[in-house]
Structure 1
Amino acid sequence: MADETEREAPTRREYVKYGGAIVGGGLFAGCSGGESTPTDDGGGEPTGTPAGTPTAPSNEGSTESDAATATPARSYSVTMEPVGTVEFDEVPKSIAPFTADYIDMLVALGHGDAVESIWYRGRYKTIHYEELPGVSVDVEGLTQLWNDGVSKEPFYEMDADLHLIDPHALTDWFGVWDESDLTEVGDNVAPFLGNVIFRRTDDWHDYRYYTLYDAFEKVAEVVQERERFEAIRSMHDELVATVQSRLPAPDDRPNAALVFAGEQPEEFTPYRLSGNGANKEHFRTLGLADAFAGTGVDGLSTTDTGTIDYETLLEVDPDSLLLRYHRRGKSREEFETSVLEYMRDHPVGSKLTAVQEGRVFRGGPIYSGPLHNLFMVERYAQGYFPEEFGEDELFDRDRLARIVTEGVDA
């Protein structure tokens, strides 16, 4: 909660709020011109003060004389579109994300305890933490922001130090707030910082996109965890190199149709496997072709929520199917005895090549963070190419857990 003690100097919260988030033309500073020009790959040099900048030791418990001569806390800044630059005088102790990809980043960086919120708990897949000793998150303890809309009240109740949320998620993606709401919460609680990265099909996202690791690096700057970030990126690069060196030739890889489907699917919402959304980076690592390419079937976006039926899917007849659905934590066995069995018994679904040849897989999390990504690369390498990868563990769980829990890579 906010400090109620009277002080002459600004509090830490006041410094974070007014240190740079609102400068440069409002909350959406940087949305037009300059660095906001959209790019296809989210590339370019990172902006803002480099992560890892040390902060001065706390003066808690010091005498008045000591405080007068103590070195002031060293501030740092982080710049990310569309908001612009936010300045910090110390690492935020409580952070309110919206999507689970950003929560996974904070967990990976050893700051899972700082997480306050999630837009919808059912979209946060956490089963992978069970394979990492000492890594966990209290999902039920998170404030769910979506309750038939997004109220401003929980933002005041959380009183977080930072909202790790792209403001356009509230104004354009869900359309539940306007800019005055954002300004009110930004002024009275804490600034916003973030970028919707999971897909690239929304017309309103006309500012820079970030890849998964671009965004992960920005979050590492926020919580000053450069070494952890570099260690996890190193593991990721090693895994990608290992998997890609063992993949069959492109012509020998199946294509895939990525769709959202219910427990007993009768219609499907297509996601395009092509494109650069962060939730599909693991599929790109495996070089899977998009089965919907050239068919006229578009991907899900804010303005396109259309569905296709079994007949349309049979016309495409993909080599493999990747089915996404909302139930959290379903195992492969549960998936096969429910969703897959239903498709095998369906008069049209049973004719699909993917169903007949057993290449129907869970589609993985929609909001995929860096820890998700490591497990997804391994899972799909094993599922698509069992003769090459079998059930081999392709990265060291204990090493990853040590990085997360201890900040060491050994």
Structure 2
Amino acid sequence: MRERPVSRLTRRGLLKGAGAASTGALLAGCMGNGANEETTTDETEQSETTTESETDETTTEETQNGYAVSMSPAGTVEFDAVPENVFAVFPQYADMVTALGHGDALNSVYVPEMTGTTLNHYAHHLDGVSFEWDGLDDPLSNSFSKEQLYALDSDVHLADPAWATTQDNWDGADVEEIGSQVAPWFGNFYSGTRAQPPEGYDDYEYYDLWTLFGKVADVFRERERYEALAEVHTNLVSTIRDQLPPKEERPSAVRVTLAADGQSFYTYHLNKPGYWLADTRPLGANDAFADEDWQSLWGTVDYETMLEADPDVILHLWGLTPSYSMADTRSKLENHSSGSQLKAVENDRVHAAGMRYQGPIMNLFQLEMGAKQLYPDVFGEWPRYEDGDPYPEIPENEWLFDRNRVADIVAGRGE
């Protein structure tokens, strides 16, 4: 079992002195470069009553020269000040730091235009909240490189060191070098799908989305802001689960992405463990592909398989991002000889979904969105999403959570 030395963060510059994946593949769900998504055998089911809403207890410890925060697989990381220059790979961390009021500290995120535009589709409804993405580096645009991390000279890397060892031209020594010469790592990737981490990380721990968010909040010393947002989330999940119809009366649904050629679908489970499913699992829909074993949480199916499943509702992943056109998707389905026969297509229940790389802001809106798409008779009709528009306007009396409360928390108005 690998030992985890205590990492240390000082102000930017004080640690100096010693010495890719394509957009299409990532959007489809194939992480590549060692990011194995095979689920562990003891984590393939989760009770429907299990909630991810419980407020995480603080993981911060005061030290002689600052404070320390613990999270697997980074271990205990010491800070002498709140990070002011922050590296991130996946969008959930951009969402988290924005929710904590530190979005302007980010120097990078995967596909900044996609991440930033999508996050702002939601933040459009939060007064005083926005994410300025223009000018951010893309850490995966030209492979994941040590040179970029040295150049960015960050105060913390919100990325999983275990994941980093799986990238091209990286190994454990490279990860340790960056952690000691630039800034520590603080991220957890494999909880996204409860996947098996790389060799050497036998003590890897899995977290749900809001526990992970709580640990990031402790890095930024924003415990009160986190707890306030976690309360909103807890109430939202309770509101949804208290009103769900009996399982036998719930719709069948699939979460898919139509392939670029329009001839097949990337498919994802709805109710398996992992924070990538934090917006579908609490909704409890009947997964039309629940019995499919793809040896991962995503697979591919053709139209024949889709027709056999014939779900009541199709949730099109990435549909609310600028990376896909829902108008084109619907047109391809409607004009395909088999696609046009799908129940969801005939009944106009092909809906735009968000992204799996969700943080707290996205998660709140995507839970509400999914609840309305799956259970319009219970939670109110979902307005049709138009390409390029923000998250649709919903009458205040049909909100499932209070946008004004969230905006006040994120903007620092009396959290």
TM-score above 0.5, yes or no: yes
Partner of 2:188: 195
CA distance in 1, matches of 2:224, 2:318: 35
TM-score by length of 2: 0.77
Partner of 2:28: none
**TM-superposed deviation, 1:354:** 2.0
Return the index of the structure with the highest Cα Rg.
Answer: 1
Partner of 1:393: 399
Contact 2:109/2:139 (8 A) holds in 1: yes
Matched, 1:185 2:185: no
TM-score by length of 1: 0.78
Match of 1:293 among 290, 293, 301: 290
Change in Cα spacing, 1:14 to 1:116, as seen in structure 2 (3 Å) is closer
Matches within 5 A, 1:211-230: 211-230=208-227
**TM-superposed deviation, 1:298:** 4.6
TM-superposition CA deviations, 1:24-48 (whole Å, max 9, x none):
xxxxxxxxxxxxxx97889998574
Runs of 4+ displaced beyond 4 Å: 13-18, 38-47
**TM-superposed deviation, 1:241:** 1.6
Matched, 1:353 2:343: yes
Matches within 5 A, 1:1-400: 12-13=11-12, 48-49=59-60, 74-121=65-112, 123-124=114-115, 125-126=118-119, 127-172=121-166, 174-196=167-189, 197-202=191-196, 204=198, 207-262=204-259, 265-300=262-297, 306-325=299-318, 328-329=321-322, 335=326, 337-390=327-380, 391=394, 392-400=398-406
Partner of 2:386: none
CA distance in 1, matches of 2:318, 2:55: 34
**TM-superposed deviation, 1:11:** 5.7
Contact 2:254/2:287 (8 A) holds in 1: yes
Contact 1:261/1:325 (8 A) holds in 2: no
CA distance in 2, matches of 1:146, 1:79: 26
CA distance in 1, matches of 2:273, 2:165: 23
SS at match of 2:279: helix
Contact 1:256/1:288 (8 A) holds in 2: yes
TM-superposition CA deviations, 1:369-400 (whole Å, max 9, x none):
11101101111112222222225122221211
CA distance in 2, matches of 1:272, 1:17: 45
Change in Cα spacing, 1:400 to 1:240, as seen in structure 2 (3 Å) is same
Q: What is the aligned length?
A: 353
Contact 1:217/1:229 (8 A) holds in 2: yes
CA distance in 1, matches of 2:351, 2:361: 20
Contact 2:55/2:231 (8 A) holds in 1: no
SS at match of 2:373: helix
CA distance in 2, matches of 1:48, 1:350: 52
Partner of 1:32: none
- Structure 2 residue runs of 5 or longer lacking an equivalent are 1-8, 18-41, 47-51, 381-393
Change in Cα spacing, 1:239 to 1:145, as seen in structure 2 (3 Å) is same
Partner of 2:33: none
